[in-house]
Structure 1
Amino acid sequence: MKFASTDRYIATEELTMAVNAAVTLERPLLVKGEPGTGKTELARQVAASLGLPLIEWHVKSTTRAQQGLYEYDAVSRLRDSQLGEERVHEVRNYIRKGKLWQAFDAPGKVVLLIDEVDKADIEFPNDLLQELDRMEFHVYETGETVRARHRPVVIITSNNEKDLPDAFLRRCFFHFIRFPDPETLQAIVRVHFPAIKDELLAAALTQFFEIREVPGLKKKPSTSEVLDWLKLLLAEDLTPEDLRRDAKSILPRLHGALLKTEQDIHLFERLAFAARR
């Protein structure tokens, strides 16, 4: 199995090598990068490229590692016992399989996405060490051990909001998705908007990279945001001339697609005020 760019996803040579190395080593691929650089979409495209089903586990601040294995619904069992339900005698009726169990129990190889692992508590990655390493876990309520029938391709994403434990990092193949250079970003745009005119694309990307380089910007616009911006430019049928800025209108057209904090908008307004002076 070899991953390569798809007709909907442009992967750099470095990223392609990282995915294939992780598959060969049978280790989780830990992908970091700015929000909006396509980390989550990578897992979907890897699944599509390899022809494998995808199981997605989206981590939240309240997510516990145990939920990825299974959850025992003791409350429902107690209620059923009070109602005299026959199913109460079988504990398996009250165990809900988590995403890892689903991946381990799949009839064939799957891609397992553990998305935004750094959102959870710092102990979350440590609590998954053995399960991801040995590809098995114990179900205490039934006494059984669940082992992976086929080792899944595991892709773990992180927005770099917090440091991950060293023991966890040792078990992963790591790749940092750098922000695309102009040529790569142009190719990405062409995938989504094949009919966009060269002049408009050149003017828009020049302005986009200028915005990203403004000193003091709190949140730099990402790949997903430039795609949203271009979609709006095309919907409004704007021309390269419409994108031109001067001291009075230093904010880009439809800037709400690119600038997502009031601090950044105020920054451009201050720059405009300084330019007028």
Structure 2
Amino acid sequence: MSVQEQTEPGGWRVFHGTGTAPDTPPALHEAPPWRRFGGGPALPVSPADPETARRRLGPGDITLRLRDEDVDIVNAALLLRRPLLITGPPGVGKSTLAHLISRELGLGRVLEWSVVSRTALRDGLYTPDAMGRAQAIAAWRASLGRTAAPEAEGADPVDTPDAAVNRAPLPNSRQQPPVIGDFITLGPLGTALLPYDRPRVLLVDELDKSDIDLPNDLLHVLENGSYEVPELVRDAAGTARVRTDDPGERVEIRGGRVECREFPVVVITSNGEREFPAAFRRRCLPLEMRTPTKEQLLAMVEGHLGIRPPGTESLVDEFVQRVQSGGTHSLDQLLNAVQMTTAGGFQADGDGRTLVEMLLRDLAKGR
């Protein structure tokens, strides 16, 4: 099948790598029978975050910089509802791809989960504020003591936080007991698995930095598209409104269980610091990103800066030469060097050469 056949209306490609925001978000393929989930009621996707997208992608439309085979892998992940496992050297745009997908498909704000060595699965799903809840219960109990009518002599006092919460407030006490939902905040992964009517984009950044158990812990969630919040499962109320990773938004959870309606677009990045278990890799589609070509780098510079300043081509040539010689370099370094040539009449030759050398230094050398 030719590229033209793949990209024409009715073709199997819905993502083309242009990064152009659509007037109307394109319809996605129906999920395979084994990747359909029954979460509900359906929620609308949160609005996009244009400022973050502008920082990541630049102010204008992004010229195609992905290989055809890379675009095919992304579309396969979208069709099969499987996570993308993106590898490649630092600074080649692995995390940027999540924002590119979100903007082109109109999938709203990207949910970002940055992983470190101490990160556990629950950090991505939800965070309970136990201390805040204890303080709220203590304050509520104190207010009861100030506003309640005097109890009959010999009555049992309110002796524990749980007893205070479970006991109905006295008739002349207007303050209601704190509800547990106010002290639960869903993380990026937990928010992505809410029953949205269109998939959210979840960026799991640098998973290779995690504890050795985290990839295995992710298997159940990625396979089943659901999870439980034990604190809400035990809550007698049955339903709770909790905060999400989207600023200012709350959702209702019933029975303490969350199940997605559309499996999120999961973009997992790795710098290759270690291998992942075979069971984890089996559930992902691998995509290896390479250093962009000279033409792609020039287009990316123009996309971010809006212009091609004098001397850009020579800086790009030098950047490509340094990368091809085996050095470790990031696109940020090139953008910084080009930006310097447009600020305050800075000259990249003569005495300014020292600063350019510093900006384009080999990151693998540690200084």
Give TM-score, length-normalised by structure 2.
0.62
Equivalence for 2:333: 225
Identity rate of aligned residues, in percent?
A: 32
| Per-residue deviation, residues 134-189 of structure 1 (Å, max 9, x unmatched) | 10012222323210132211111112222222211111111010111223223323
Deviation track 1:208-255 (CA, whole Å, cap 9, x = no partner) reads 22323446x4xx22222112111112335567xx558xxxx9x66522
Give the corresponding residue for 1:207.
Answer: 318
State the partner residue of 2:299: 187
Which digits, 9 at most, give the CA deviation of each residue in 1:94-149, with x for residues without a partner?
A: 32212222122253321111111122212111111111111001222232321013
| Structure 1: runs of 5+ lacking an equivalent | 266-277
Structure 2 CA distance for partners of 1:121 and 1:52, relative to 1, 3 Å:
same
Q: Deviations over 1:7-53 (max 9, x none)?
A: 13643123222211110110011111111111111111110000011
**Is residue 2:118 matched to residue 1:105?**
no
Residue of structure 1 in register with 2:92 after alignment: 37
The 2-side partners of 1:262 and 1:187 are apart by 26
After TM superposition, the score normalised by the length of structure 1 is: 0.79
2:76 and 2:112 map into 1 onto residues whose CA distance is: 21
Alignment gaps of 5+ in structure 2 = 1-13, 20-60, 142-164, 166-175, 234-255
Equivalent position to 2:361, from 254, 259, 265: 259
Write the distance in 2 (CA, Å) between the matches of 1:210 and 1:253. 18
Kept in 1, the 8 Å contact 2:140–2:178? The answer is: no
Task: Provide the C-alpha distance between the structure 1 equivalents of 2:264 and 2:366, rounded to a whole number of angstroms.
Answer: 42
1:91 to 175, 180, 191: 180
Structure 1: distance between partners of 2:280 and 2:98: 20
Matches of 1:101 and 1:68, distance apart in 2:
6
Indicate which of 132, 136, 151 corresponds to 1:80: 136
Is 2:70 the counterpart of 1:70? no
Asked if the contact 2:133/2:183 (under 8 Å) is kept, the reply is: yes
Counterparts in 2 of 1:190 and 1:81: CA distance versus 1, 3 Å: closer
Q: Which residue of 1 aligns with 2:212?
A: 122
Give 2:79's aligned amino acid.
Answer: T
Q: Pick the structure with more helix per residue.
A: 1
Mapped to 2, the partners of 1:243 and 1:231 lie a distance apart of 15
SS at structure 1 position matched to 2:231: coil
Counterparts in 2 of 1:256 and 1:150: CA distance versus 1, 3 Å: same
For 2:204, what is the secondary structure of its paired residue?
strand
The residue number in structure 1 matching 2:17 is 4
Letter of the structure 2 residue corresponding to residue 258 of structure 1 = L
Aligned-pair CA distance for 1:59? 1.9
RMSD value, Cα: 2.8
AA of the residue aligned to 1:226: L
Q: Quick check: 2:118–2:210 contact (8 Å CA) kept in 1? A: yes
Match of 1:131 in 2: 221
Aligned partner letter, 1:73: D
Contact 1:5 1:16 in 2 (8 A): no
What SS is found at the alignment partner of 2:272?
coil
**Post-superposition offset of 1:65:** 1.0
